[in-house]
Structure 1
């Protein structure tokens, strides 16, 4: 497994990270046995970075992940979880909530320390509370050795970069902004990497946008973007290719040059893991890539903040 250093002196982490939201049944029911299988397969394949959050499946994802990791040597996995987001439309970045959330996460995950603790979807929470309470609390926890690194996550790249640099956080996780359709994260990630901030890319398929079936009804992409993605899917099929696989290949194989340390992909089955590893290691079909890029060119970098659709990300 390809790996990168997490910060100047941090551990090496896999270029492909296991997104554990799916273990909480967020997308479809997942049994504990199934969760155990995919986590074991990921670790065996060298995927040592796992991202989760209390919000995913209303704590079910953390519970399932903790059970799947039982007996796994602690140093074999780099665990990332989050604080702040409590529900679809509920955030609390108060010191009390942060400390309580961390303790509960540690109990569910069965660990004493969290390697990366992230403030979740910061654009929706109270900014002053984030700055005055959450981040100072995380800095104290880091000094105590309870957490290894401090991070922020979200969609608003300008805000993420501003907070990351002003508050000297260790990591940033952005979603849906380094894909075949939207690559605005790349220059931000390179600037942050130059300042020692590790950047993670989540949702490289744009929350289902870059798939053969298209995005769910609630997806916030504009109709123009949806139509372009469907055109890309049709062109892939005509060439005997699959849009989601090409999109994953692009995001995974160009991540390093974009300044991205690791790409977080949701996985709930070992076969999905194998497909994702293949996307990381199989050379991209240049004809399929060109066809997709041509179809998406009219809507390149047009996120839903610039070209709003009729849907809306849960909680937005």
Structure 2
């Protein structure tokens, strides 16, 4: 069972999408509602903030471009250079006030970036009108699953042949067969049971088990590859949002959280809402795959 070793009072409104950068030995994440990317130096516990032009749902590091990210901003995907704030758009399918925005995302083991959208305004967008998108190495953005409400829980098995995905309001987690060569999805089936709360961000550990944050339940749940629940960690807040592994040996487990939507009474009862929780785990995680492009694909350098 992972042991809580530290709490960083980050003060996030909607902390999400933590990723460990192996080269930098830093944790990166987004505070969506504050329109900022954040990074933590583990040794000094110093947090650095970068303002962003739109809310950031998720992002990935880019192979061969150490100062550049591929980012799922609220309206679309873009190259982003945190050092100077430069942006180069790839595609903006949610521009123009669609009532949807991009949300959770992660690279698969082959380096494709997956990002899903969510319905924010059902009157404008329509129910279940969000989608799961794939950004291939050719820089083309493709819809791979429609009929979604709030995309979450994107992560891939260690062998890269299974993609996990969640639709939060439906309390549903899914597993897909993922073609490692083409990125095609097939064989969607239910994965695990959500007994309490709503499945939010997720990550896979080195044993192939899925760690899923449960928004509203104050828990992080570990699922075996067959979907069964094998461990549950309780937190002193109700809205954990996502999980990441990091540290020198990838045995630190980071959990982001949110204060967004809490009443004044709930905030008083949960003074650590919006904090970053750090656990020590017996089982290590996996290094995050970076987004990989074909030769000649554009983008910031």
Which interval holds the TM-score relative to the shorter structure?
A: 0.3 to 0.5
TM-score computed with the length of structure 2 as normaliser: 0.32
TM-score computed with the length of structure 1 as normaliser: 0.31
Structure with max Cα Rg: 1
Kindly indicate which of the two structures has a greater share of residues assigned to strand.
Answer: 2
